[in-house]
Amino acid sequence: MSRSTSVDAESPDLPDDLYAVILAGGRGARFWPLSRRARPKQCLSLTSEQSMLQETVARLHPLVPAERILVVTGPVMAEGVRAQLPQLPPQNILVEPSPRNTAPCIALGAVEVARRGGGHAVMAVLPADHHIASPDELRRILMAARDAARSTNALITLGIRPRYPESGYGYLQVGVRMGAWGGRSFHMVERFTEKPSVDVATQWVEAGTHLWNAGMFVFTVDAIRDAIREHLPQTAMAMIELAGNASMLASVWETMDATSIDYGIMEQSRHILTVPCDPGWSDLGAWTALDTVLPSVEGGKGKAASVVAVDSVDCTVFAPSKTVALVGVSELVVVDTKDALLVMSKSRAQELRHVVARLDTEEPHLT
């Protein structure tokens, strides 16, 4: 049995310094009408009986025990998050006072991890709303990245081997190899690029020079504190205040730089490592991305009591308690909830935000 498989079972080799900081503050409006403010994307059960958040926690077992899993979420959804994760100590749910993007959330997580584990503790930052087909493989990757983070004190971002030229993702250009941990090669990141054209993405995927940036990061508390001090000094000051007095959060929060960790830290730093990998990652960023993980039904993919399709193809149906009949339609997204119904052309899925924006004003009880 190789060392890299030891994370699949209770094992004396499991590290006691690895923490998970799960980012669960997003609204996920691209999954309206199923997603709502108080029931965001990460709290939905789209692909299994468990919600995406519950799966995110579950797939860390046994590598990271519940006591070392922190969840950062918003005030409206905090109650729902606590209800979904009864195994987590209540103080492990960190509530951001207002949405300020991911960098402040990670800073908040870093202060808490430092308080518990000190500057050498390692944080794995994980989005709560992604799908991972191979949790075993993810744990092996995280274990290797933890070793690399401890050895190099670098910031590490997981690099997903691209399966197709997706133009909606961020890409990492792979640089020189820096070494191997857990049997895996770690490379410098040459450049971050958000949402390239399909042509450019196609070149990159064919050349094998780039990886998808999945928003999963591993670093020591010291490493992220140093990077924040360099690139987001306001946030670094706030972290110091917060470390001295946790009750200051509400006032200190507003002084943190409202930016993403990608833009605020990763793209500004010259010492980022990546580990090329493939844990079966999917962003599932919108209804149209679900086809890869939803079961087949007549007329396409989906979840419904039943689907009867006449001359209908490539539809995505989500109406768990209903029989859905499709007649002569194709490439539609059909989502039914108690109080709202969506019928959308797949090619226009990016327009859904206009619907949610209008309902925010006109019928806020529906968003």
Contact residues for its own copies, defined by CB under 8 A: 32-33, 305-306, 308, 310-311, 319, 321-329, 332, 334, 336, 339-345, 347-349, 351-352, 354-355, 358-359, 362-363, 366
67 or 363: CB nearest its own copies:
363
Least distance (Å) from its own copies to the CB of residue 317?
A: 9
Structure-block tokens of residue 206: 């064919």
Under a CB-based contact definition with an 8 Å cutoff, are residues 41 and 90 in contact?
no
At position 152, the amino acid (one-letter code) is T
> Distance (Å, rounded) from C-alpha 364 to C-alpha 47?
27
30 or 150: CB nearest its own copies:
30
> Distance (Å, rounded) from C-alpha 139 to C-alpha 6?
10
Least distance (Å) from its own copies to the CB of residue 352?
A: 6
Least distance (Å) from its own copies to the CB of residue 353?
A: 10
240 or 313: CB nearest its own copies:
313
254 or 314: CB nearest its own copies:
314
Least distance (Å) from its own copies to the CB of residue 351?
A: 5
Under a CB-based contact definition with an 8 Å cutoff, are residues 301 and 316 in contact?
yes
Under a CB-based contact definition with an 8 Å cutoff, are residues 141 and 61 in contact?
no
Of 79, 31, 121, 35, the closest CA to residue 349 belongs to 31
Structure-block tokens of residue 177: 């190899």
Under a CB-based contact definition with an 8 Å cutoff, are residues 207 and 104 in contact?
no
Least distance (Å) from its own copies to the CB of residue 32?
A: 8
134 or 337: CB nearest its own copies:
337
Give the HSE-up count for residue 106: Cα atoms under 13 Å, Cβ half-sphere: 34
Least distance (Å) from its own copies to the CB of residue 40?
A: 18
Residue 267: count of CB within 10 angstroms of its CB: 18
112 or 336: CB nearest its own copies:
336
User: Coil, strand, or helix at residue 194?
Assistant: strand
115 or 322: CB nearest its own copies:
322
Under a CB-based contact definition with an 8 Å cutoff, are residues 85 and 118 in contact?
no
Least distance (Å) from its own copies to the CB of residue 108?
A: 35
